[in-house]
Amino acid sequence: MGNSFLMESFKEKENRLKILNEIDVKRIILKQQLYELEKQAKSITDTDEDYKQYIERYQKCFYFGSVDYEKYCSLLKLFMESSPDSELHIKLSDVLKIHCPIVDTTDNDTINVFNKKLWQQVLEIVSKKLSELEFRTWIAPLKLISTDKNSIKLIVPNEFSKAIIKEKYESVLLNSIHEITENIEFIDYSISEG
C-alpha cells in the first residue's frame, strides 16, 4: 500500500511539473509577443507628431494625466472644428494648452502648436492635389507666420511668387484649408526679407 501511494504521488508530482513547464513556456512566449508589440507600438508612435506632443505636454501635467491619447485626439478634433470665438474653443484651447507657443527651429518664428499642425496638414493635402514639381516650386517654399480668427498669414519668397500663388494656387490652398477647418476665409502674404 505504501508503494502504490508513493507511485501515485510521484505521478501527480510529475503531472504538476509538466503543467508548470507548459505554463513557463507559454509565459516566455507571451513575454516575447508583448515585447514585439511594444516595439511595434513605439515605432508607430515615434512617427506620430500628435502623439509626441501629447506625451510632451500631458504626461508632465498632473491634472491632465487621466486623459488618454484617443480622448486627446477627439478633443483636438473638436477644437479644430469649433469657431475660434466660441466659449468651447476658448476652453478647449486652455485644456489642450494650444495657446502655448513653441519655437520652430527651422525659421526661428514662434508659432503655436495648432498653427504648425494646421499648416502641416494643409501641405499634405495640397501635395496630393498638385504635381510634385508644382508643389516643390510654389507651395513648399511658403512659411506659415500665423493664423487668426479668419485668415492665415504666409511668407512668400518674392513678389513674382506671390503673384503666381495668388493667381494659380490660392484656391487650392484655401480648399485644402477648408478640408481641415472652415474658419479660414482668406490668405495674407508677406514677402521674405532674406
Same domain, 116 and 153: yes
First to last CA, the chain: 100
Predicted pLDDT of residue 138: 92
Predicted pLDDT of residue 171: 93
Residue 110 · residue 103 · CB < 8 Å: yes
CB burial class (10 A; 0-12, 13-18, 19+) of residue 109? middle
Q: What is the mean pLDDT of the chain?
A: 76
Same domain, 39 and 54: no
Predicted pLDDT of residue 173: 93
Same domain, 118 and 182: yes
Locate 16 and state its grid cell.
504538476
Predicted pLDDT of residue 112: 56
Same domain, 192 and 108: yes
Compute CA 192 distance to the chain's CA centroid, rounded to the nearest angstrom.
29
Quick: pLDDT tens for 107-143. 334 345 557 777 888 898 999 999 989 998 999 999 8
Please list the alpha-helical segments (H only) found in 46-86. 49-58, 69-81
Q: How far is CA 74 from CA 53, 79, 100, in A?
A: 15, 9, 19
162: domain CATH number is 3.30.300.180
Percentage of the chain lying above the pLDDT 90 cut: 15
pLDDT at 11 over 50: yes
pLDDT at 176 over 70: yes
Same domain, 140 and 189: yes
Same domain, 60 and 9: no
CA torsion angle 112 115 120 121 (round to 10)? 140
Residue 99 · residue 93 · CB < 8 Å: yes
Compute CA 172 distance to the chain's CA centroid, rounded to the nearest angstrom.
24
Residue 154 · residue 145 · CB < 8 Å: yes
Predicted pLDDT of residue 51: 66
Q: What angle do CA 147, 148, 153 make, to 5 degrees?
A: 40
Same domain, 133 and 173: yes
Same domain, 179 and 120: yes
Quick: pLDDT tens for 64-101. 445 666 776 777 777 777 777 777 877 776 666 553 33
Same domain, 119 and 189: yes
Q: Highest-confidence range of 3-12, 55-64, 100-109, 179-188, by mean pLDDT?
A: 179-188
Give this prediction's pTM.
0.44
Total structural domains within the chain: 3
Same domain, 27 and 60: no
User: Residue 67 corresponds to which amino acid?
Assistant: V
Same domain, 81 and 133: no
The residue length of the chain stands at 194
Predicted pLDDT of residue 17: 85
Percentage of the chain lying above the pLDDT 70 cut: 71
> Which residue range forms the structural domain that includes residue 69?
49-99
Same domain, 190 and 109: yes
